[in-house]
Chains A and B, each alone.
Chain A
């Protein structure tokens, strides 16, 4: 065996020393064939690991023809997208948890096909259609309706990546946990429903407590949120660890009555529905972007406040006077332009979606067989043409246009116009400075419009 090949295997087995690693790294950089060897060795290693992995209790070393074919590689059926835990896959036992697959109705499975009455594999399962019922030792019944992707984790927890489940827990409060892409739902007794959906940028869990209480936990929350009978909520997030939004939902049972119920805020206050902005959905889970955007919103609000004062002044400015509005408001316009160009904010770094409204909230409405509304899921619907939104972009354009008017006026009235002493040289300097500011504002506007990030 060549030394480099030996080092490759040592690396794969993670038995390599630092010096050996450096040596192998140099060799790999120089030697394409060695890289190929490394790659194929890894694939062999993966197959070897999968081959001997404890897939089921009755797996034996393949010695007889009967045991040989396993319908392709077990690895191929191991995972579904959002939470393929391969490590778990390799080590998970089949039936140590006491969870039983008690019944199914028109179940259409993809991949692994569990059989009712037999042990449920602890793998990600894909139920395309129909429904099934699982009994957990915690005295919990979980009914899952397809299409659903889920995995029985152990005797007291079930993970649902997508799909709908109804949980009926008759055991000790808090003993059973439903894991979702945005956090954990603990049944404090006795019945709740959960619908888990995944969108392009986030996941949503719509849950309704049919009876009793449910506690929701997410690593970013200081304490669990408790939901009581009749409460229906939508939890939006990207992972069980990142921040989430809890929005009011709609109860599946009586949509008309609960449309107003759905507007109830989670804290229990009766009030108007909190405004849900598309930007909130777009930034969900991205804390840095959220903070950055809240700073931009404050700046936009402040600029809007000042711009509105000038707009109102312009509206009430009577035409026919000897001077134009641009001349009357020149000090305010110039001060505003100055703060835009030479203030502490670099406006050219702001993106179009942060400075205007590029999307609006739309809702996916789900109905039952009777056509009744059972849930609504918000999503960000991109607009063909951006709207004003926080008016940051439109206000910059407005300030730019005011400054342009002042500039044209200056050109018209001659260079000495703005000089206290009518000195053309002073006026020329002011003209040039303003020209540069105008250029900078137009540059910032162009930069925002082209920043579609």
Chain B
């Protein structure tokens, strides 16, 4: 196979794996704002080491390993920060790979669940996620406290997540 084709295949695999890799890194870093930076480091490292990847093997398995070590290195560097998991838990979670459902499965399930939400709830999510408004800004607009809004969003996410999980369970992987 030509080097360009190999690179192309590698990029396809890496691109497909982004969602899974990000979720894996986010899990180990407690969804820290550094997640994207660490993911970027993982991507760089995977690209540098791309010739080590055997296309006959599962790309994600290899990618998770790289992500694990990069995340561990990050946690070691930031061990003095407050919201960093202890090494035992990191190792435990590092071994447990994310579920087999792809992001597109989850997104389809999400769309089905979003359709079931009331317009008000959907607007709330849209404000929070798409328009990137702060909880304070949205709360001010709605005339409620930030704390009350946080609780509302929390319940909404939980509800949505439960719905997504139900939908995924009814869909074979």
Contacts and interface: CB of A to CB of B under 8 A. Distances in A.
A316 B107 CA distance: 82
A73 interface: yes
B76 interface: no
Contacts, number: 190
Interface residues of A, number: 67
B129 A53 contact: yes
Given A76-B104, A79-B43, A51 B22 contact: no
A49 B93 CA distance: 23
A48 B157 contact: yes
Nearest to B129: A52
Interface centre among A35, A38, A47, A238 (most CB of B within 10 A): A47
B104 A73 contact: yes
A198 B104 contact: no
B130 interface: yes
A401 interface: no
A91 B36 CA distance: 13
Nearest to B10: A81
Nearest to A24: B30
B74 interface: no
B154 interface: yes
Contacts of B130: 52-54
How extensive is the interface on chain B, given as a class?
35 or more
Interface string B99-129: 1010110110011001000000010011011
A82 B43 contact: yes
Interface string B35-66: 01001100110111111000000000000000
A76 B27 contact: no
B125 A48 contact: yes
A198 B12 contact: no
Interface centre among B18, B86, B126 (most CB of A within 10 A): B18
A126 B14 CA distance: 13
Given A49-B129, A73-B104, A43 B98 contact: yes
Interface string A1-39: 100011001111111101001000100110000011011
Contact of A73 (B11, B107, B128, B160): B107
Nearest to B97: A39
A86 B18 contact: yes
B103 A21 contact: no
A62 B92 contact: no
23 contacts: A11-B30, A14-B31, A35-B93, A39-B98, A39-B99, A42-B31, A43-B101, A44-B161, A47-B103, A48-B125, A49-B129, A52-B130, A72-B107, A76-B103, A81-B14, A81-B46, A81-B50, A84-B18, A84-B40, A91-B132, A147-B8, A198-B47, A238-B48
Among all A-B residue pairs, the 10 with the closest Cβ atoms: A81-B47, A52-B129, A52-B130, A87-B36, A44-B161, A72-B104, A82-B47, A73-B103, A86-B36, A84-B43
